[in-house]
């Protein structure tokens, strides 16, 4: 009995070793291919140079892992179990009275471990990587911004509606700068200073001007106003971090703040609506203030739904590692072929045609509020589980 257990453990250890060896090789190959895509995307989006590309390279890699791990794992189980079955090792194991589940246990265990690891990547590592990428991009923006001012002595951003001219640039200081930007009413505000330095505030999407001996003038201002710090919109399309760049705890904190804000706005909107009805002033429902209440509530609700969907999609997408193994392992054994690509294609094509469309459909419906993401994001995994249990039953039976 002890010798049989030892043989089983040796067999499982052998399979686990094969799985790890093949998985690490495939993951490395996929990562090398996808890293170039990620670097190209970041460089094109943010206008990065070679030096900045080298700086963000270590942070691109972890952001790609959650997408490459499931595919690499499915191909791994197709290779390993397809070869084992093709060499009739599964038949030999069953003839020795050992259950096929013994062979699948290493893969299922690896799937569980990688599911936990994928969630850790999406929840901890990717936000950390995004913060570092933003830091590099911000530094690059500052350098580009200063280089433009140093060369042209002016910077114009028509989209954001402002212009900056300088006498010259001394290091990171702007000498004799003049800032002109358009306010909502269409008028121009002019700031003249002897010196200024710049800070990029990505959280508030602002460029902060630290001014020395500045004069701030605007139409209808009644004179000249003194200010030391002046925020203006960022001269770039960088925005606040999206939900996928935050940890789950940060998302939940944001959700609490958004819910509190929405409740306050809804209360003010309801009070205003009650007053309009009581006074018979139905034109008030078309007022700018009431429309702003409605628009703000709608935007907050939309952002809340996106954040909730992001939380549940992280759990579901991470768990897909286990369900990919549950489907791929039994399917590869049933195919019983050394041509692992055949098993992989036959297994992965239905996943592309069914699983991912279901994931994207559930994600869109959850963001629109049509379904609850708490169960909607798990529908695709449920389909994988049913298919995997079907093939597992066939493997155990035959």
Per-position DSSP letters for 312-330, written without gaps between them? HHHHHHHHHHHHHHHHHHH
**Higher pLDDT, residue 62 or 121:** 121
pLDDT at 20 over 90: yes
The percentage of the chain sitting over the pLDDT mark of 70, rounded to a whole number, equals 78
What pTM does this model have? 0.72
- What does the pLDDT average to over 107-111? 93
Yes or no: say if 328 and 339 are a contact pair by the CB < 8 Å rule: no
CA distance 47 to 36: 16
**Higher pLDDT, residue 9 or 379:** 379
pLDDT at 224 over 50: no
**SS3 at position 224:** strand
| pLDDT at site 37 | 66
DSSP H helices, the chain, are 2-46, 50-86, 89-95, 100-120, 126-152, 248-279, 288-335, 340-350, 356-368, 373-376, 379-397
According to DSSP, the residues that pair with 217 across neighbouring strands are 190, 224
Q: What is the CA radius of gyration of the chain?
A: 29
- What does the pLDDT average to over 51-58? 71
Yes or no: say if 175 and 195 are a contact pair by the CB < 8 Å rule: yes
| pLDDT at site 339 | 66
| pLDDT at site 382 | 94
Positive/negative CA dihedral, 101, 106, 112, 115: negative
pLDDT at 236 over 50: no
Residue 237: pLDDT band (50, 70, 90) is: very low
């Amino acid at each position: 009995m002890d010798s049989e257990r030892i043989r089983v453990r040796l067999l499982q250890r052998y399979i686990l070793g094969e799985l790890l060896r093949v998985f690490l090789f495939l993951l490395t190959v996929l990562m090398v291919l996808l890293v170039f895509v990620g670097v190209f995307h970041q460089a094109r989006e943010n206008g990065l140079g070679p030096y900045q590309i080298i700086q963000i390279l270590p942070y691109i890699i972890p952001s790609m892992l959650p997408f490459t791990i499931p595919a690499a794992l499915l191909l791994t189980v197709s290779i390993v179990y397809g070869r084992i079955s093709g060499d009739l090792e599964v038949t030999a194991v069953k003839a020795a009275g050992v259950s096929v589940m013994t062979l699948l246990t290493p893969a299922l265990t690896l799937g569980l471990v990688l599911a936990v690891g994928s969630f850790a990547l999406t929840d901890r590592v990717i936000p950390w990587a995004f913060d570092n990428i933003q830091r590099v991009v911000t530094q690059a923006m500052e350098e580009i911004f200063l280089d433009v001012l140093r060369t042209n002595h002016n910077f114009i951003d028509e989209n954001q509606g402002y212009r900056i001219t300088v006498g010259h640039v001394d290091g990171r200081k702007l000498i004799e700068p003049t800032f002109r930007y358009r306010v909502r009413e269409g008028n121009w505000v002019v700031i003249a200073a002897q010196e200024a330095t710049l800070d990029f505030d990505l959280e508030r999407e602002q460029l902060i001007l630290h001014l020395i001996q500045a004069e701030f003038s605007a139409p209808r201002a009644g004179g000249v106003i003194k200010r030391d710090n002046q925020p203006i919109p960022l001269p770039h399309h960088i925005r606040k971090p999206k939900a996928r760049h935050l940890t789950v705890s940060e998302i939940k904190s944001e959700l609490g703040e958004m819910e509190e804000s929405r409740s306050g706005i809804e209360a003010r909107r309801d009070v205003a609506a009650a007053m309009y009805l009581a006074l018979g002033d139905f034109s008030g429902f078309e007022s700018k203030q009431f429309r702003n209440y409605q628009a703000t509530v709608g935007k907050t609700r939309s952002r809340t739904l996106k954040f909730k969907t992001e939380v549940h999609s992280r759990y579901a997408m991470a768990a897909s590692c286990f369900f990919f193994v549950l489907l791929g392992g039994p399917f590869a054994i049933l195919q019983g072929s050394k041509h692992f690509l055949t098993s992989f294609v036959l297994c992965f094509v239905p996943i592309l045609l069914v699983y991912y469309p279901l994931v994207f459909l559930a994600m869109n419906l959850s963001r629109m509020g049509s379904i609850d993401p708490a169960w909607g994001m798990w529908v695709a995994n449920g389909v994988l589980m049913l298919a995997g249990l079907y093939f597992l039953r066939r493997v155990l039976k035959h």
